[in-house]
Amino acid sequence: MWRAETREQLNAITRRWRGEGLKTALVPTMGNLHKGHLALVEEARREADRVITSIYVNPTQFGQGEDFDNYPRTPDSDVKLLMQAGCDLLFIPEHSTMYPFGLENPVRVQASPDLAATLEGQSRPGHFDGVLTVVARLFNLVVPDIALFGEKDFQQLLVIRRMVDDLGYGIRIVAFPTVREQSGLAMSSRNNYLGVDERAAAGELYAVLRQVADHIRNGRGDWQQVERDARTRLESLGFRVDYVAVRRTKDLGPPGPADLDLRVLAAVYSGRTRLIDNVGANRVGISGE
Protein backbone atom coordinates (compact mmCIF):
# COMPACT_ATOMS: atom_id res chain seq x y z
CA MET A 1 0.00 0.00 0.00
CA TRP A 2 1.30 3.45 -0.94
CA ARG A 3 1.18 6.25 1.57
CA ALA A 4 0.95 9.99 0.86
CA GLU A 5 1.03 12.83 3.36
CA THR A 6 1.61 15.85 1.13
CA ARG A 7 -0.15 17.13 -1.98
CA GLU A 8 2.99 16.44 -4.01
CA GLN A 9 3.22 12.81 -2.86
CA LEU A 10 -0.47 12.32 -3.59
CA ASN A 11 -0.25 13.89 -7.05
CA ALA A 12 2.78 11.85 -8.04
CA ILE A 13 0.80 8.63 -7.57
CA THR A 14 -2.68 9.65 -8.72
CA ARG A 15 -1.39 11.42 -11.87
CA ARG A 16 0.36 8.23 -12.90
CA TRP A 17 -2.79 6.18 -12.37
CA ARG A 18 -4.90 8.63 -14.32
CA GLY A 19 -2.30 8.60 -17.10
CA GLU A 20 -2.58 4.81 -17.27
CA GLY A 21 -6.34 5.17 -17.65
CA LEU A 22 -7.05 3.50 -14.30
CA LYS A 23 -10.36 4.22 -12.56
CA THR A 24 -9.87 5.50 -9.01
CA ALA A 25 -12.17 5.38 -5.97
CA LEU A 26 -11.88 7.53 -2.85
CA VAL A 27 -13.11 6.46 0.60
CA PRO A 28 -12.91 9.50 2.93
CA THR A 29 -12.69 8.64 6.65
CA MET A 30 -11.61 10.07 9.97
CA GLY A 31 -9.77 6.85 10.86
CA ASN A 32 -10.25 4.52 13.83
CA LEU A 33 -11.42 2.14 11.16
CA HIS A 34 -14.06 -0.50 11.78
CA LYS A 35 -15.95 -3.00 9.62
CA GLY A 36 -18.23 -0.26 8.29
CA HIS A 37 -15.28 1.66 6.86
CA LEU A 38 -13.67 -1.52 5.56
CA ALA A 39 -16.88 -2.54 3.78
CA LEU A 40 -16.65 0.77 1.88
CA VAL A 41 -13.03 -0.02 0.93
CA GLU A 42 -14.02 -3.50 -0.25
CA GLU A 43 -16.90 -2.09 -2.29
CA ALA A 44 -14.47 0.45 -3.77
CA ARG A 45 -12.23 -2.45 -4.79
CA ARG A 46 -15.12 -3.91 -6.78
CA GLU A 47 -16.00 -0.57 -8.38
CA ALA A 48 -12.58 0.76 -9.37
CA ASP A 49 -9.03 -0.21 -10.40
CA ARG A 50 -7.33 1.70 -7.56
CA VAL A 51 -8.65 2.49 -4.07
CA ILE A 52 -7.54 5.56 -2.12
CA THR A 53 -8.56 5.90 1.53
CA SER A 54 -8.10 9.19 3.35
CA ILE A 55 -7.72 9.46 7.09
CA TYR A 56 -8.13 12.97 8.43
CA VAL A 57 -9.92 14.11 11.59
CA ASN A 58 -11.31 17.34 10.21
CA PRO A 59 -11.46 20.13 12.80
CA THR A 60 -13.87 22.33 10.84
CA GLN A 61 -16.76 19.87 11.19
CA PHE A 62 -16.57 19.67 15.00
CA GLY A 63 -18.47 22.22 17.06
CA GLN A 64 -17.31 23.86 20.27
CA GLY A 65 -17.46 21.37 23.11
CA GLU A 66 -17.60 18.41 20.70
CA ASP A 67 -15.11 15.55 20.78
CA PHE A 68 -12.40 16.72 18.34
CA ASP A 69 -9.61 16.39 20.93
CA ASN A 70 -10.79 13.01 22.19
CA TYR A 71 -11.77 11.56 18.82
CA PRO A 72 -10.06 8.12 18.69
CA ARG A 73 -6.87 8.12 16.60
CA THR A 74 -5.43 4.66 15.84
CA PRO A 75 -3.20 5.03 12.76
CA ASP A 76 -1.16 1.86 13.28
CA SER A 77 -4.10 -0.51 13.37
CA ASP A 78 -5.80 1.49 10.59
CA VAL A 79 -2.82 0.87 8.28
CA LYS A 80 -2.96 -2.88 8.94
CA LEU A 81 -6.69 -3.06 8.32
CA LEU A 82 -6.41 -1.07 5.09
CA MET A 83 -3.68 -3.34 3.77
CA GLN A 84 -5.86 -6.39 4.51
CA ALA A 85 -8.86 -4.76 2.82
CA GLY A 86 -6.91 -4.16 -0.40
CA CYS A 87 -6.47 -0.38 -0.23
CA ASP A 88 -3.85 0.85 -2.73
CA LEU A 89 -3.07 4.29 -1.31
CA LEU A 90 -3.52 5.84 2.11
CA PHE A 91 -3.74 9.64 2.07
CA ILE A 92 -3.05 10.81 5.62
CA PRO A 93 -2.54 14.57 5.51
CA GLU A 94 -1.49 17.07 8.18
CA HIS A 95 -3.66 20.13 8.84
CA SER A 96 -1.22 22.24 6.78
CA THR A 97 -1.85 19.99 3.78
CA MET A 98 -5.64 20.21 4.01
CA TYR A 99 -5.76 23.85 5.13
CA PRO A 100 -2.56 25.55 3.88
CA PHE A 101 -3.83 29.00 4.91
CA GLY A 102 -4.73 27.83 8.41
CA LEU A 103 -7.90 26.77 10.14
CA GLU A 104 -9.13 30.23 11.04
CA ASN A 105 -9.94 31.65 7.61
CA PRO A 106 -10.21 28.83 5.10
CA VAL A 107 -12.32 29.10 1.96
CA ARG A 108 -15.50 27.32 3.00
CA VAL A 109 -18.26 25.47 1.25
CA GLN A 110 -21.71 26.16 2.64
CA ALA A 111 -24.13 23.23 2.64
CA SER A 112 -27.54 23.81 1.01
CA PRO A 113 -29.74 25.01 3.89
CA ASP A 114 -32.82 23.15 2.62
CA LEU A 115 -31.01 19.86 3.27
CA ALA A 116 -28.61 20.84 6.01
CA ALA A 117 -30.59 23.02 8.42
CA THR A 118 -32.66 20.17 9.86
CA LEU A 119 -31.90 17.11 12.06
CA GLU A 120 -28.07 16.84 12.45
CA GLY A 121 -27.62 20.36 11.08
CA GLN A 122 -30.03 21.76 13.66
CA SER A 123 -28.29 19.99 16.54
CA ARG A 124 -24.78 20.63 15.20
CA PRO A 125 -24.79 24.08 13.55
CA GLY A 126 -22.07 24.44 10.93
CA HIS A 127 -21.29 20.72 10.96
CA PHE A 128 -22.20 20.08 7.32
CA ASP A 129 -20.37 23.21 6.16
CA GLY A 130 -17.25 21.71 7.75
CA VAL A 131 -17.91 18.31 6.16
CA LEU A 132 -18.35 19.83 2.69
CA THR A 133 -15.35 22.10 3.16
CA VAL A 134 -13.10 19.09 3.72
CA VAL A 135 -14.82 16.74 1.25
CA ALA A 136 -14.51 19.35 -1.53
CA ARG A 137 -10.80 19.69 -0.71
CA LEU A 138 -10.36 15.91 -0.78
CA PHE A 139 -12.16 15.73 -4.13
CA ASN A 140 -9.98 18.53 -5.54
CA LEU A 141 -6.75 16.94 -4.32
CA VAL A 142 -7.51 13.30 -5.13
CA VAL A 143 -9.65 13.81 -8.28
CA PRO A 144 -11.28 10.37 -8.01
CA ASP A 145 -13.74 8.88 -10.50
CA ILE A 146 -15.98 7.68 -7.70
CA ALA A 147 -16.30 8.31 -3.96
CA LEU A 148 -18.02 6.08 -1.44
CA PHE A 149 -20.04 7.11 1.60
CA GLY A 150 -22.07 5.17 4.18
CA GLU A 151 -25.83 5.39 4.61
CA LYS A 152 -25.05 5.43 8.34
CA ASP A 153 -24.61 9.19 7.95
CA PHE A 154 -27.63 9.57 5.73
CA GLN A 155 -27.96 13.34 5.82
CA GLN A 156 -24.23 13.71 5.15
CA LEU A 157 -24.66 11.51 2.07
CA LEU A 158 -27.48 13.72 0.73
CA VAL A 159 -25.60 16.93 1.44
CA ILE A 160 -22.53 15.59 -0.39
CA ARG A 161 -24.59 14.39 -3.37
CA ARG A 162 -26.13 17.85 -3.61
CA MET A 163 -22.70 19.51 -3.58
CA VAL A 164 -21.50 17.20 -6.34
CA ASP A 165 -24.57 17.91 -8.49
CA ASP A 166 -24.64 21.63 -7.73
CA LEU A 167 -20.94 22.39 -8.18
CA GLY A 168 -20.60 19.98 -11.10
CA TYR A 169 -17.97 17.56 -9.78
CA GLY A 170 -17.58 14.73 -12.26
CA ILE A 171 -17.47 12.21 -9.42
CA ARG A 172 -19.98 9.38 -9.01
CA ILE A 173 -21.13 9.04 -5.41
CA VAL A 174 -21.73 5.46 -4.28
CA ALA A 175 -23.79 4.86 -1.13
CA PHE A 176 -23.20 1.78 1.01
CA PRO A 177 -25.67 0.27 3.53
CA THR A 178 -24.97 0.53 7.25
CA VAL A 179 -22.80 -2.22 8.71
CA ARG A 180 -24.01 -3.32 12.14
CA GLU A 181 -22.85 -5.33 15.11
CA GLN A 182 -24.79 -8.48 15.93
CA SER A 183 -26.90 -6.50 18.40
CA GLY A 184 -28.01 -4.19 15.58
CA LEU A 185 -25.86 -1.31 16.80
CA ALA A 186 -24.49 0.58 13.79
CA MET A 187 -20.69 0.39 13.78
CA SER A 188 -19.16 3.75 14.71
CA SER A 189 -15.87 5.06 16.04
CA ARG A 190 -17.90 6.77 18.75
CA ASN A 191 -19.11 3.37 20.05
CA ASN A 192 -15.70 3.23 21.77
CA TYR A 193 -17.01 5.81 24.22
CA LEU A 194 -19.79 3.46 25.41
CA GLY A 195 -19.46 1.58 28.69
CA VAL A 196 -20.09 -2.18 28.69
CA ASP A 197 -23.74 -1.87 29.77
CA GLU A 198 -24.39 1.07 27.46
CA ARG A 199 -23.00 -0.87 24.54
CA ALA A 200 -25.21 -3.87 25.29
CA ALA A 201 -28.29 -1.61 25.40
CA ALA A 202 -27.40 0.48 22.34
CA GLY A 203 -28.70 -2.14 19.88
CA GLU A 204 -32.21 -1.20 21.03
CA LEU A 205 -31.98 2.02 19.04
CA TYR A 206 -32.01 0.02 15.80
CA ALA A 207 -34.84 -2.17 17.11
CA VAL A 208 -37.00 0.90 17.75
CA LEU A 209 -36.23 2.38 14.32
CA ARG A 210 -37.20 -0.91 12.70
CA GLN A 211 -40.47 -0.96 14.62
CA VAL A 212 -41.24 2.52 13.32
CA ALA A 213 -40.40 1.39 9.77
CA ASP A 214 -42.75 -1.60 10.20
CA HIS A 215 -45.60 0.68 11.32
CA ILE A 216 -45.04 2.82 8.25
CA ARG A 217 -44.91 -0.18 5.94
CA ASN A 218 -48.18 -1.35 7.46
CA GLY A 219 -49.80 1.89 6.39
CA ARG A 220 -49.56 4.19 9.43
CA GLY A 221 -49.53 7.77 8.20
CA ASP A 222 -49.85 9.71 11.46
CA TRP A 223 -46.12 10.47 11.55
CA GLN A 224 -46.19 12.80 14.46
CA GLN A 225 -47.84 10.22 16.69
CA VAL A 226 -45.46 7.55 15.39
CA GLU A 227 -42.53 9.86 16.20
CA ARG A 228 -43.90 10.62 19.69
CA ASP A 229 -44.36 6.91 20.45
CA ALA A 230 -40.81 6.17 19.28
CA ARG A 231 -39.45 8.96 21.46
CA THR A 232 -41.30 7.60 24.50
CA ARG A 233 -40.02 4.09 23.80
CA LEU A 234 -36.41 5.30 23.42
CA GLU A 235 -36.68 7.31 26.64
CA SER A 236 -38.06 4.30 28.50
CA LEU A 237 -34.97 2.39 27.31
CA GLY A 238 -32.79 5.01 28.98
CA PHE A 239 -31.75 7.10 25.98
CA ARG A 240 -31.90 10.89 25.95
CA VAL A 241 -33.51 11.66 22.63
CA ASP A 242 -32.20 14.48 20.44
CA TYR A 243 -34.57 13.70 17.56
CA VAL A 244 -36.45 10.82 16.04
CA ALA A 245 -38.12 11.75 12.76
CA VAL A 246 -39.91 10.27 9.77
CA ARG A 247 -38.77 12.09 6.61
CA ARG A 248 -38.80 11.84 2.83
CA THR A 249 -35.74 9.87 1.67
CA LYS A 250 -34.91 12.20 -1.21
CA ASP A 251 -34.63 15.50 0.67
CA LEU A 252 -35.44 14.81 4.35
CA GLY A 253 -38.51 17.04 4.13
CA PRO A 254 -41.63 16.19 6.15
CA PRO A 255 -43.59 13.55 4.22
CA GLY A 256 -46.96 14.23 2.66
CA PRO A 257 -49.65 11.64 1.95
CA ALA A 258 -48.29 10.87 -1.51
CA ASP A 259 -44.70 10.26 -0.37
CA LEU A 260 -43.87 6.56 -0.39
CA ASP A 261 -40.10 6.48 0.00
CA LEU A 262 -39.36 7.40 3.60
CA ARG A 263 -36.52 7.28 6.09
CA VAL A 264 -36.62 7.08 9.88
CA LEU A 265 -33.71 8.97 11.44
CA ALA A 266 -32.67 9.39 15.05
CA ALA A 267 -29.98 10.83 17.27
CA VAL A 268 -29.88 9.83 20.93
CA TYR A 269 -27.51 10.05 23.84
CA SER A 270 -26.49 6.97 25.77
CA GLY A 271 -24.82 8.55 28.78
CA ARG A 272 -22.53 11.14 27.17
CA THR A 273 -22.21 9.33 23.86
CA ARG A 274 -24.21 10.61 20.90
CA LEU A 275 -25.45 7.85 18.61
CA ILE A 276 -27.09 8.36 15.20
CA ASP A 277 -28.85 5.80 13.06
CA ASN A 278 -31.47 5.54 10.32
CA VAL A 279 -33.46 2.95 8.39
CA GLY A 280 -35.48 2.98 5.18
CA ALA A 281 -39.25 2.55 5.21
CA ASN A 282 -41.05 2.23 1.92
CA ARG A 283 -44.76 2.77 2.25
CA VAL A 284 -47.07 0.52 0.31
CA GLY A 285 -50.56 1.18 1.63
CA ILE A 286 -52.04 4.46 2.78
CA SER A 287 -54.46 4.51 5.72
CA GLY A 288 -54.94 6.29 9.00
CA GLU A 289 -54.79 9.78 7.45
Interface residue list for ligand PAJ (CB under 6 A): 28-30, 36-37, 39-40, 58, 61, 131, 134-135, 149-150, 152-153, 156, 176, 178-179, 186-188
Burial of 101 (0-12, 13-18, 19+ CB in 10 A): exposed
Residues with catalytic roles:
37
Is 174 or 281 the residue whose CB approaches ligand PAJ more closely? 174
Q: What is the DSSP track for 147-180?
A: EEEEGGGHHHHHHHHHHHHHHT---EEEEEPPPB
Closest approach, Cβ 229 to ligand PAJ, in A, equals 26
75-85 helix and 35-47 helix, angle to the nearest 10 degrees: 40
| Residues forming beta bridges with residue 148, ordered by sequence position | 174
Q: How many CB atoms lie within 10 A of CB 224?
A: 10
CB nearer to ligand PAJ: give 188 or 223.
188
Which is closer to ligand PAJ, CB of 208 or CB of 226? 208
Q: Please enumerate in sequence order all residues whose Cβ is within 8 A of that of 63, keeping only pairs 6 or more positions apart, or say none.
A: 124, 125, 126, 127
> For residues 39 and 226, which CB has a smaller minimum distance to ligand PAJ in the complex?
39
Q: What is the DSSP letter of 62?
A: S
Task: Give the nearest distance from C-beta 253 to ligand PAJ in angstroms.
Answer: 21
Q: Pick the closest to residue 233 from 194, 188, 256, 264 (CA basis).
A: 264
- The nearest distance, CB 36 to ligand PAJ, in angstroms, is 2
Tell me how far, at minimum, the Cβ of 96 lies from ligand PAJ, in Å.
Answer: 17
61, 127 contact by CB (below 8 A): yes
